[in-house]
Structure 1
Amino acid sequence: MKRFDWNRIKLKQVNAADLSDRALLLNLYVTQALTLIIGIIVLFFERVHIPALFVMREPLRILLWGAAFAVAVLVVDMIVSRWVPKEVTDDGGVNDKIFGKRPLWHIVLLSFIVAVCEETLFRGAVQHAWGAYWTSILFAAIHFRYLRHWLMTGLVFSISYGLGWIYEQTGTLWTPIAAHFIIDLVMGCILRYGKEEDSES
């Protein structure tokens, strides 16, 4: 039997610009599906009653908490992008490639899928076992495109910790999902439609 040569396997960083739009979208959808599946498996082993995480007792309160947190994050992001050099906030063009030419319905869909999948894993499963602090360390670590800059890593950690905090305050995953969705939706729309305004002026 022929032995497999492990030395032939090489990992390399892929530049977002090198990926086709189809490959990028496929990667995004597969990654989010895996995130959701891992979250559900972890919750199953933790013996968490999954429907209880998604109880929506007071929809208005959930929306207010989520929207207030999202507005705070977006204001901080506006301040950072205004006063911090562009290379510090650079993510390698990933977000621009994901949202830059997408129609509005697709930005909404992507924002919702990412919010549900990531919050199920991180706030639902991981935070249940590790708490908000260590969950936020992991959340910041998986956003590896920001790890080169301490400021962006700190912001991702803080956003994650805040999402964990509002989850604990309201007792439902819909609150961090709402906040995550609003943040991604607004950022996606800025990336998509901001360029049109710049080209017209």
Structure 2
Amino acid sequence: MKKLDLSKFKLRTVSIDDIDDRMLLINLYATQAVTFIIGLIWVFFQRGNPFLLFSSPGAWDFLYWGAGLAAAVLVVDLLVSRFVPEEVGDDGGVNDRIFRNRAVWHIVLLSFIVAVCEETLFRGGVQHLIGPYWTSIVFAAIHVRYLRHWIPTGLVFSISYGLGWIYEQTDTLWAPIAAHFLIDTVMGLIIRFRREQ
């Protein structure tokens, strides 16, 4: 039996430009699947049945909360992009690569998957344990591509805190999912169509 020689493994930094579109999508879908699974397991060990998180909220007022937060975030983001130099908000080109050449239906699908997976883990699981403030710090930290600049890091923290706040106000995971979905979809469409002009 062969021994595993760890000295042959080498870590190297990979730029977003070194990854082709297929590998980028595989990576995105795989990380979201892992996020969702961890979220379900986390919720299971904290509260029991994780699928109760997705039960119907009954009334539709959660959509007002989600749409309201999404509108506020988009206005702030547009103001920041108008008055702050572009390099300050640079994420290394990741969002541009994800959305630039994507079909509209695929942007919508990606946004929905990301919203469900990330909100399951962060609002459904982590926030239940450590609250919205610390959850937002963890949420900002995992969006590592923004950590090079304080403005996008602050925006990600603030958005996460807003998502946590509306989750507590509505007591349904569908409110932060709706907000997250709308934010990602609109921003993805802006990137998609801005690049075509």
Deviates more, 1:2-11 or 1:66-75: 2-11
Correspondence 1:126 to 2:126: yes
Percent sequence identity is: 66
TM-score, with structure 1 as normaliser: 0.93
Aligned partner of residue 78 in structure 1, secondary structure: helix
Give the residue type in structure 2 aligned to 1:83.
F
How many corresponding residue pairs? 197
Structure 1 stretches lacking a partner, 5+ long: none
**Which ranges in structure 2 are unaligned for 5 or more consecutive residues?**
none
Task: Give the TM-score, by structure 2 length.
Answer: 0.95
What is the correspondence of 1:6-25 to structure 2 with a 5 Å cutoff? 6-25=6-25
Q: What amino acid maps onto 1:35 in structure 2? A: T
RMSD over equivalenced CA pairs, Å: 1.4
Distance change in 2, residues 1:44/1:57 (3 Å): closer
Contact 1:167–1:175 at 8 Å: present in 2 too? yes
1:58 to partner: Cα distance: 4.2
Quick one: distance in 2 between partners of 1:161 and 1:49? Answer: 25
Question: CA separation in 1, counterparts of 2:162 and 2:180?
Answer: 11
Measured after TM superposition, the shift of residue 48 of structure 1 is: 3.3
Q: Please tell me the residue identity of whatever aligns with 1:166.
A: I
2:44 aligns with 44
CA contact (8 A) 2:57 2:174 kept: no
The alignment status of 1:173 with 2:173, answered yes or no, reads yes
Q: Which residue of 2 aligns with 1:35?
A: 35
Q: 1:191 to 1:59 in 2, by over 3 A?
A: farther
Distance 2:61 2:90 in 1: 35
Higher mean displacement: 162-171 or 12-21: 12-21
Q: Partner of 2:195: helix, strand, or coil?
A: helix
1:32-83 Cα deviation digits (max 9, x unpaired)? 0000001111111113332332233344311110000000000110011111
CA contact (8 A) 1:119 1:173 kept: yes
In structure 2, C-alpha distance between the alignment counterparts of 1:15 and 1:171, rounded to whole Å: 40
**Alignment partner of 1:142 is 2:142:** yes
**Deviation sequence 1:69-127 (CA, Å, 0-9, x none):** 00000011001111111111111111111110111111110000000000000000111
Give how far 1:4 is off. 3.4
